[in-house]
Amino acid sequence: MAEFSIIEHYFKRTSNTDVSLGIGDDSAIITPPSSQQLVICADTLVAGRHFPLDTAARAIGWKSVAVNLSDLAAMGAKPHSILLALSLPSVDHDWLAGFSQGLFDCCDQFGVSLIGGDTTQSTQLTISVTALGWIEQGQAITRAGAQVGDYICVSGQIGDAAFGLQHLGHPLQQRLDYPTPRCHLGQQLKGLASSMIDISDGLAQDLGHILKASNVGAKLQLEQLPLDASLKQLDLQQAWHYALAGGDDYELCFTISPQNFEELSRQQLDVPLTIIGEITQQTGLLFEYMGKAHPLHVHGYQHFA
């Protein structure tokens, strides 16, 4: 099957009404909303590196979209559309059917259109997605706004995906294969959160990016980490390793003033939030357990290792 036949059969669908020109030409054309800024991100998934080789095609399709929408959520942006670059070792129609189903399942759930991209042959399965979203002028939440005294919060549970990767077949594998980008929460945090990041490479490492960008420090309370019951049954050190260094959770980690957190808590939220620590003046990341210092050495996911 030729490249354009693959695109026509598996990936061409009607786009959002504000897409003036979608799949079928050299480039897509979008009409930008008034007084909005364009937010753009890209992620690449490589077979055997970012997902096990036997991962279901539908899960790969879902995740390739979800991880990008999570980056948009981390800035408070509303997702709009994606571009897909797909490198295939061969044309496997069953795989393509499952992959495109997962991709569009995620797109449909979050109101996103596939508006273009590229397909080619390669020795290794590689999926690159570029996601586009909109946010009101000057409202983007970056990593650089954390203030001393802010709460440090996370959405949902952390460590699930890392546990699922090490225990394939366990129910938590679902959290590894089908992460939920917190798009609605990200938009609710506009004007409230002082900084934000999504947890892709491990909480400790990703929070460290906020601390560096904001030139502040943090103190985390280990007993406050929101863990699944399966992790709570483990040795504490192992559970903390999954939560702090495992990655692939795609939950949001954000900082927020106590006053703004009170305002946020009065809103209807679609995911639980947990206060896990506080921003400090002294730089660096410190850990406490039950009120006492508890030094830990944790490292997140390394893209070159």
Measured distance CA(199)–CA(194) in Å, rounded: 17
Binding residues for substrate: 50, 248, 301
Structure tokens at 52: 């096990």
* Contact call for residues 263 and 141 (beta carbons, < 8 A): no
Binding residues: 26, 43, 50, 71, 117-118, 143, 198, 200-201, 248, 301
Amino acid at 279: I
β-partners of residue 126 are: 46, 87
Q: How is 168-233 classified by DSSP, letter by letter? A: TTSTTHHHHHS----HHHHHHTTTTEEEEEE-SS-HHHHHHHHHHHHT-EEEEEGGGS---HHHHT
Measured distance CA(258)–CA(150) in Å, rounded: 7
Please, which residues have CB within 8 angstroms of residue 202's CB and are 6 or more apart in sequence? 244, 245, 246, 247, 298, 299, 300, 301
> Other CB atoms closer than 10 Å to residue 7's CB: what's the count?
19
Binding residues for ATP: 117-118, 143, 200
Please, which residues have CB within 8 angstroms of residue 176's CB and are 6 or more apart in sequence? 160, 161, 162, 164, 165, 248
Q: What are phi and psi of 221, to 5 degrees?
A: -100, 105
Residue 148's Cα: distance from chain center in Å?
Answer: 26
DSSP label at 200? S
Identify which of 21, 121, 11, 32 has the alpha carbon closest to the alpha carbon of residue 78: 32
Binding residues for Mg(2+): 26, 43, 71, 118, 198, 201
* Contact call for residues 289 and 201 (beta carbons, < 8 A): no
